Amino acid sequence: MKYFLQVCVLLLCLSGSAYAGYLEILYVDANVGAAAGGHVGLKLDDDVFHYQFYPDERFLLVRESWEPFKLVYNRLRNRTIYAAGWSVPDDVSARIRSHFTAALASQNNDFSRYRFLLEQKQMLAGLDSGLLEVSVRGLGFFEVAEKTSAPPKILRSRIVAALGQDYLSEKREAIAAGLQNVLATLHEGRHEAGKLIEIVRRISDLRKKQAAYDILNDGAGLLSSARVVGMDEKLSQQALDNLNHAFSRRFQVLVRLLNSERSDAGEAILIEAARCLALIESLRSKTLITLDPYSEDAVEKPFDPENPEMQHYLHTLSGLLKRRCLLLLDSGANGTGAARDYHYLQLENVNGRLAEIGRAVSEGQWIRLSPEMMMPGRKRTLRTGVPPLEKNALDSALFSIDQDLSALEQNLAEKYRYALIARNCVTELLKNLNSSFSNKEAAEKFLGGWIDPIKDRVAVPHDFFYKASVSYRIEQVTRYPSRRLMQVEAMQAKSSAAAVWLREGNTVSTTLYKRRIEDSPFLFFTDDVGWPRPILGLANLLWSAGHGLAGIVRLPVEGMDPVRQAARGMFYSLPELVFFNIRKGTYLYDTVYQGGHEL
Amino acid sequence: MRAGMVIKGSLLLGCLFLAGSGCSISYSVDQSSDSISQSLDSISASFDSFTSISTSSGSEKKDVEAALQRFTDDVKGLTRIFLDNAQGPDDFERQLANIARDYGILDWEHEPLAFAAIGSSLRECGVAEEDITNVAFLQSAALKQNHERIVEGFEKV
């Protein structure tokens, strides 16, 4: 009994151990295209923090979940990921997370400020012609002309029941009066010098609120293009009950926003009103209808109806999204208001994507993309006549904003620049990790060591991972083989390794890889071979050179592209001659019907 | 071993110079600037994350919990940087509204999590409880109304 109690005490101590956090340094192997020299990240629980280079030359800190990170780097870009991890006390893990999140918040604050200044400049510039143009999020969902449908009437009657018969009209009048008052201030030049932009901002906020109250008061319905239907079938009673529950929450939020004194409430009211209308339509038709979540500037990828791989992939995705949608509908949302809000956002995103695939397949032209969670908010521009302004006041306000913008642009260009050696994914990650601690000694205590990106000359991902592996208190290194290697290893476990290599080791007979122009022409995979690598590399060099010659012959017909790709192929074969591999092949689509997914 | 690593690293660096490649694959829409990567082959990146299916209802709950933890982290991060710069309550509210919107929350004025995160962050940054009322970027009507919730978050840490 005594020993039993001692064991229990020991187990309790262990379970309550201060070492509850787990930190991992990720190294992503090299491959052709972006991040040809490999990549690094820091994993804390499910979050990966890493630095990405964007096409507009900015180099930014990104936080994403482990699965999407793995999908892109490991599954699509076919790179092996190594994770070197060790336990840290809970408060240390929290401190590092807090430090990285603050860096992310600072970055978002900088760009948000930049967008805000740009928006202000655009508004001011329009005033010269006596027009204030305001882009209103959420207004683009409404059909202003059509005011006869039932859902807006239902919504209006619910608002009347909650807030009183005259609430909407009285509020609308109060906003109109407030707007007139501010416009008069502008007209009479009563505003303080240098406060022009604040006045314009107030006009903009009031116009947004006015638009929201107009929509609700006049009973405008949803545009047909604003609604999306992912599944045609009728919903189960449980799903309908859960949608009813979702409506209660959305309506509660709408009423709170209508009561809010927040100056920026107009857009939020429009979005929640549109969501309520979509839910009313869903409950009436017993099918799931949500708002189109894509923004006006969503990326569009051409849809090729003749491409069986794309067709098959989208068909598979469609099945998975439908199952996810039904699961979300059946599980419903419980818990706090925030939990219910996020659950509904998930439902909108899944249904929106499902509908997008359906639309793309039926129209056969293009498909919209967005890897992020989207908040519905289709915009429409409102134009408001404003009194003529004194030219000096306007010029002075514009000059002041231009100066702020110019200073901020310079600051952003310097702060978020990319430099191959001095500011890359290794140096910035290390700087942030090191500065999470008050001093070098504290970092050494919990990390097990100290790596200085400048003094230790660490700039290459592979080199950093090696240094981290020997310097930090690493407990375990986990390897996540690239997609092709994982499949090859699975095949080798079942049959002869030589036979598998003979079939899968080259791009001609492989069943696991489909040649892609983006990967450049090559014959042999060299990422899973040791000493034969230079010989296979030489074969790859000759193969690419052959493609180059053929490209020159076909130059008048096919242009420079094949020659350029052949040159890339030759370039990426060179490291193989000295035992080093970069190129591994990449994939366009994930095999969603394999792995963790079931159909 | 060490010499091998150096050679490998130098080779990689050489390749990087020649290829002129950046550090990573930017598939995601850049929330900071609305600009996007030029990558064309991102159908998988755009759809796959939204297909994850688990038969256990607990996983849906975990998804939501993870998202709300990120929301809390983001608000704490925002509070921390506002303590370090001179921006005012309007900027703070605008940023808070932007963060909340990313998580589907439009009436942040009534979201206890947001205020608990602000309070918690103030404490972590060494603000004394009696000084909370004087924090410059918290001087808006909506934030003053939620002073008690901020203090609760402060005391819970």
Question: H or E stretch including A250?
Answer: helix A237-259
Give the pLDDT score at B130: 94
pLDDT digits (tens, 9 = 90+) for A216-260: 999 999 999 999 999 988 999 999 999 999 999 999 999 999 999
Q: Is residue A142 very low, low, confident or very high in pLDDT (cuts 50, 70, 90)?
A: very high
- CA A382 to CA A256: how far, in whole Å? 25
- Distance from the Cα of B29 to chain A's closest Cα (Å) equals 7
pLDDT at B24: 57
Lowest-confidence pick of A149-153, A191-195, A224-228, A486-490: A191-195
Token duo for residue B157: 């840490």
pLDDT of residue B69: 94
* A457 contacts chain B (CB < 8 A): no
Q: For residue A18, is pLDDT > 60?
A: no
Rounded distance, CA B121 to CA B125, Å?
6
Residue B134 phi, psi (nearest 5): -100, 0
The residue type at B87: Q
The pLDDT assigned to B14 comes to: 55
Q: What is the pLDDT of residue A107?
A: 95
Task: Write out the two tokens for A219.
Answer: 């009973």
pLDDT-derived band at B41, boundaries 50, 70, 90: very low
Output the pLDDT for position A11. 42
A517 shares contact with chain B (CB less than 8 Å): no
> Which chain A residues touch B41 with a CB distance below 8 Å?
76, 518, 588
Nearest C-alpha neighbor of A90 from the set A25, A19, A42? A19
Q: Across the interface, which of A344, A420, A597 has its CB nearest the CB of B17?
A: A420
**Between A396 and A550, where is the model more confident?**
A550
pLDDT at A114 over 70: yes
Percent of chain B past pLDDT 70, that is, above it, reads 66
**Residue A347 contacts B where some CB pair is shorter than 8 Å:** no
Q: Which of B22, B52, B111 sits opposite A337 (nearest CB)?
A: B111
Alpha helix (H) residue ranges in A495-580: 497-504, 533-553, 555-558, 561-577
Task: Report the alpha-carbon distance of residue A433 to residue A42 in Å, rounded.
Answer: 9
Q: Which residues contact A157 (CB under 8 A, 6 or more apart)?
A: none
Residue from the list A116, A314, A373 with its beta carbon closest to the beta carbon of B102: A373
The top-scoring range by mean pLDDT among A392-401, A437-446, B57-66 is A437-446
Tell me which of B54 and A421 has the higher pLDDT. A421
If you average pLDDT over each of A3-17, A139-153, A430-444, B36-50, which comes out highest?
A: A430-444
In whole angstroms, give the CA distance from residue A235 to residue A21: 43
State the pLDDT at residue A420.
82
Q: A68–B45: do the CB atoms touch at under 8 Å?
A: yes
- A233 touches B at CB < 8 Å: no
Instruction: Report the pLDDT averaged over residues A505-520.
Output: 91
- The beta-carbon neighbor of B46 closest among A253, A310, A371 is A371
Chain-chain contact of B19 with A113 (C-beta, under 8 angstroms)? no
Minimal CA separation from B137 to chain A, in Å: 14
pLDDT of residue A422: 86
Residue B96 in this model has a pLDDT that exceeds 70: yes
CB burial of residue B25 (10 Å; 0-12, 13-18, 19+): buried
The band of A55, judged by pLDDT with boundaries at 50, 70 and 90, is confident
What is the C-alpha to C-alpha distance for residues A434 and A424, in angstroms, rounded to an integer? 15
Whole-angstrom Cα distance, residue A255 to residue A269? 9
Predicted pLDDT of residue A594: 42
Among residues B51, B57, B63, which one has the least CA distance to residue A320? B51
pLDDT of residue A464: 94
Among A63, A101, A443, which residue's Cα sits nearest to residue B121? A101
Percent of chain A past pLDDT 70, that is, above it, reads 94
- Kindly determine whether residue B37 and residue A328, on different chains, have CB atoms separated by under 8 Å: no
Average pLDDT estimate for A424-448: 93
Q: Which of A325-334, A546-555, B113-122 has the lowest mean pLDDT?
A: A325-334
The answer for A 352-391 residues in CB contact with B (under 8 A) is: 353, 357, 367, 369-373, 375, 377
User: Does any CB of chain B come closer than 8 Å to the CB of residue A301?
Assistant: yes
Say if the Cβ atoms of B105 and A341 lie within 8 Å. Answer: yes
Tokens of B106: 């439009």
Q: Give contacts of B141 with chain A, Cβ < 8 Å.
A: 261
Interface test with A, best of B12, B17, B24, B79 (most A CBs within 10 A): B24
Lowest mean pLDDT among A229-233, A308-312, A366-370: A308-312
Phi-psi region of A158 (alpha: psi -120 to 50; beta: other; left: phi over 0): alpha
- 3 state SS of A232: coil
Q: Give yes or no for A99 touching B (CB within 8 A).
A: no
Closest to A129 (Cα-Cα) out of A379, A393, A394:
A394
If you ran DSSP here, which 8-state letter would residue A226 be given?
G
User: The dihedral of CA A402, A405, A407, A410: what is its sign?
Assistant: negative
Taking an 8 Å cut-off on Cβ atoms, the answer to whether B103 and A262 are in contact is no
What percent of chain B clears pLDDT 90, i.e. is strictly above it? 52
Answer whether B106 sits within 8 Å of A253, measured CB to CB.
Answer: yes
Of A103, A323, A367, the CB nearest to B43: A367
* pLDDT of residue A525 exceeding 80: yes
Query: Shortest CB distance from A369 goes to which of B42, B68, B107?
Result: B42
Report strand pairing: A299-302 vs A366-369.
Answer: antiparallel
Nearest CA in chain A to B125: A98
Could you tell me how many helices (H) and strands (E) chain B has, helices first?
A: 7, 0
Closest CA to A251 of A164, A341, A165, A327: A341
In the predicted model, what is the mean pLDDT of chain A? 90
End-to-end CA gap in chain A: 51
How far away is chain A from the Cα of B53, in angstroms, using its nearest Cα? 6
Tokens standing for A211?
A: 């638009």
Nearest residue to B45 (alpha-carbon basis) of A353, A598, A307, A107:
A353
Considering only the beta carbons, identify the residue of A112, A116, A424 that sits closest to B23: A424
Q: Choose among A384, A393, A350: nearest CA to A229.
A: A350
Confidence class of residue A16 from pLDDT cuts 50, 70 and 90?
A: very low
The residue of A53, A110, A369 whose CB has the most chain B CBs within 10 angstroms, and thus the best one to mutate to test that interface, is: A369
CA distance B65 to chain A (A): 8
Give the model confidence (pLDDT) of A270-299 as tens digits.
999 999 999 999 999 999 999 999 999 898
Query: pLDDT band at A589, cuts 50/70/90?
Result: confident
Q: What's the pLDDT at B31?
A: 28
Measuring CA to CA, which residue among A351, A341, A207 is closest to residue A293? Answer: A351
Q: Which has more pLDDT, B36 or A412?
A: A412
| Cα distances (angstroms) measured from residue B5 to each of A427, B2, B10 | 18, 5, 8
Distance CA A444, CA A451 (A): 9
Going by C-alpha positions, the residue among B140, B130, B59, B42 that lies closest to residue A301 is: B42
B33: amino acid identity, one letter: S
Mean pLDDT across chain B, nearest whole number?
77
* Confidence (pLDDT) at A26: 97
Mutate to test the interface with A, among B1, B15, B28, B43 (most CBs of A within 10 A): B43
A155-193 confidence digits (pLDDT tens): 999 999 999 999 999 999 999 999 999 988 877 766 665
pLDDT at A371: 83
Q: What is the pLDDT of residue A536?
A: 97
Region of residue A585 (phi > 0: left; psi between -120 and 50: alpha; otherwise: beta): left
Q: What is the per-residue pLDDT across B115-155, written as a single tens digit (0 to 9) for each? A: 999 999 999 999 999 999 999 999 999 999 999 999 999 99
Residue B37: pLDDT band (50, 70, 90) is very low
Structure confidence at residue A8 as a pLDDT band (50, 70, 90):
very low
User: Who wins on pLDDT, A130 or A402?
Assistant: A402
- Kindly tell me if the per-residue pLDDT of A54 is higher than 50: yes
List CB contacts (< 8 A) between A323 and chain B: 53
Contact list in B for residue A459 (CB cut-off 8 A) is: 13
**Mean pLDDT, range B48-61, rounded to an integer:** 61
The pLDDT tens digits for A61-87 are 999 999 888 988 898 889 999 999 999
Assigned token pair, A443: 């970092």
- Those residues whose C-beta lies under 8 Å from the C-beta of residue A359, and which sit 6 or more positions away, are none
Q: Can you read off the two tokens belonging to residue A376?
A: 């519905």
Q: How far apart are CA A22 and CA A36, in angstroms?
A: 28
Selected for mutation to probe chain A from B35, B48, B55, B143 (highest A CB count within 10 Å) is: B48
What's the distance, CA A572 to chain centroid?
31
Residues of B in contact with A360 (CB under 8 A): none
Which of B30, B47, B49 is nearest residue A67 as measured by Cβ atoms? B49
Lowest mean pLDDT segment, chosen from A166-170, A195-199, A336-340, B16-20:
B16-20
Choose the closest CB to A578 out of B11, B25, B35. Answer: B11
How far apart, in whole angstroms, are the C-alpha atoms of residue A218 and residue A273? 13
Residue written as token pair 């060099």:
A541
- pLDDT value of residue A187: 76
A37 neighbors A583 (Cβ within 8 angstroms): no
Hey, are the CB atoms on A580 and B12 less than 8 Å from each other?
A: yes
Predicted confidence at residue B27, as pLDDT, reads 39
Task: With both helix axes pointing from N to C terminus, report the angle between A265-285 and A196-218 in degrees, rounded to the nearest 10.
Answer: 20
